[in-house]
Amino acid sequence: MSFDKDLEIVQAVRNLCAKAKEAHLELKEFSQKEIDNIVAAMAEAGFQAAERLAQLAVQETGYGNVPDKIKKNQFCTRDLYNSIRKLRTVGIIREDRSNSILEIAEPFGVVAAIIPTTNPTSTTMFKSIISLKARNGVVISPHPRAVKCIIESAKVVHDAAISAGAPEGIIGVISDPTLQATHELMKSKDTNIILATGGSELVRAAYSAGKPAYGVGPGNVPVYIDRSANYKKAAADVVAGKSFDYGTLCSSEQALIVDEPIKDRVIEELKNQGAYFLKPDEIRMLEKVLLTPDFRVNPEMVGKSPQVLAQKAGFSVSHDIRVLVAELAGVGKAYPLSAEKLSPTFVFYVVNGVEEGIRRAQEILDFGGRGHTAAIHAKKDRVIRQYGLAIPAFRVVVNSPASIGAVGYTNKLMPSMTLGCGTFGGNITSDNISAHHLMNIKRVAYETKPLAAPRNGTTWRPAERSDAPYRKALSSDVSRKGNSQKATNESSTKISSSQPGKVYGATGMTESEVEQVIEEFIKQC
């Protein structure tokens, strides 16, 4: 690459960041209702384009399958919107009356959003929606193997946001995503936070950029089936979870740990669900094509069907096979398939009891995947709690497919395509990342314990007071454009456009009125 080309790429990224910063400064003054209208429009546009974007993603990357990518796109638009619809991100978002503390939302600024190739369209829309919900600008760095579908996904939500009143430039996309361009984005003076989804090297680069960063860790998900489980449902869930989008979710099942008393029944049911148990020589053949000698996932085999994987390895399976299963005796480098595999392949172990199951699951997570996800199938709550307490994973999915359970598709976890692994996985949070992770919280704290009594020697006593001014200033459920505390898209009070002075936060009052009310309240304290 020429020196001139390098300079051109750097300048293009700087321009995107500067535009996003300028747009963010405008967006941060919007009311809650205006923000929510923008986010609703983005989610609906992405939902309507779900099938088209899924087709683009599969055509460009060769990863996964269209039906499941449609589900991901729908999940990261409408389902995501429903999970954050009532989240307040403008002005005073909470008052703690018992402790006399106000909480005020402040956006971060510009989000650098790094997008992976495994879930390109869904992650693009997800990160754009949560960024704008928190009143941030966003600049997207696409994976080089998924540039076209990521650019198109960003265009869908960007155009919807602009139509709903968002400022131009609020969502930017790097059109030539080189390594240099991504580094420039992460280090830009206009970038305020990095939201990195990708391989461990990318996450390390994000952490080294000198900016706050949310990263993720690798997944190597163990699934324990206890003797008390509904083994038929468990087998169906495991196969459904592992075959979903051909295993491209990092939360997909990687190792099945089965309690010995139900082993034969589970194996039979797995076969009924479309599982193919590999012969010893087929295991060795598959190892060579799925993983590199240094235990990295072969990118050419990611998200491929069982039939393609078998063909590349040198054997064949019938068209109705949904997953490949390798029975192993141990975990570690002597057993390459015990590592993470972003494909419809998992390994199989037999144990005797929950204690042994826990030890095996811990081994698997220690080999790669600490802090990410684990799953259990059991009817006994005592067993579920014992497993949950012992496992070094921050999402323990119960009686559900791990792959889509961890992201919040089949349960009440926060819908997310960025799953923190906590300090176990080298991350700052163990949460499912969402909009509330992309805003600062300012706290206004009123005195509750005076430092000293008055000098005249009299005993200090708090004066009796009415908290009416406090309620008036802090509890109003209207914003500058008519925000409702009960439903963000409704307005219970309209603020007159002739009212003088700057409208303050979510109170619907002018700045001078708020200052007067607070001053009166402080006097009564």
- The residue annotated as part of the active site, out of 17, 76, 149, 250, is 250
Q: How far is CA 149 from CA 48, 127, 138, 143, 280, in A?
A: 15, 15, 17, 10, 39
Q: Among candidates 176, 182, 179, 177, which has minimal Cα distance to 194? A: 182
Rounded Cα–Cα distance for residues 480 and 34 (Å): 9
Q: Which residues contact 16 (CB under 8 A, 6 or more apart)?
A: 139, 169, 172, 173, 174, 185
Cβ atoms 247, 349 nearer than 8 A:
no
Concatenate the DSSP letters of all residues of 303-350 into one string. T--HHHHHHHHT----TT--EEEEE-S--BTTBGGGS--SSSEEEEEE
The two structure tokens encoding residue 258: 């089965």
Q: Say how many C-beta atoms besides its own lie within 10 A of residue 316's C-beta.
A: 9
Q: Say how many C-beta atoms besides its own lie within 10 A of residue 454's C-beta.
A: 9
Give the length of the chain. 525
Rounded Cα–Cα distance for residues 151 and 60 (Å): 12
Q: Which residues contact 87 (CB under 8 A, 6 or more apart)?
A: 133, 435, 436
Which phi and psi (to 5°) does residue 191 adopt? -85, 135
Q: Among candidates 219, 235, 398, 233, which has minimal Cα distance to 325? A: 235
Element (H, E) at 122: helix 120-133
Residue with tokens 């307005």: 491
Cβ atoms 474, 88 nearer than 8 A:
no
3-class SS of residue 5:
helix
250 is catalytic: yes
The two structure tokens encoding residue 21: 């910063």
Roughly how many angstroms between the first and final C-alpha of the chain, as a whole number? 67
Rounded Cα–Cα distance for residues 84 and 88 (Å): 9
Dihedral-angle region of residue 451 (phi above 0 means left; psi in -120 to 50 means alpha; beta otherwise): alpha
Q: Say how many C-beta atoms besides its own lie within 10 A of residue 172's C-beta.
A: 25
Q: Which residues are catalytic?
A: 250
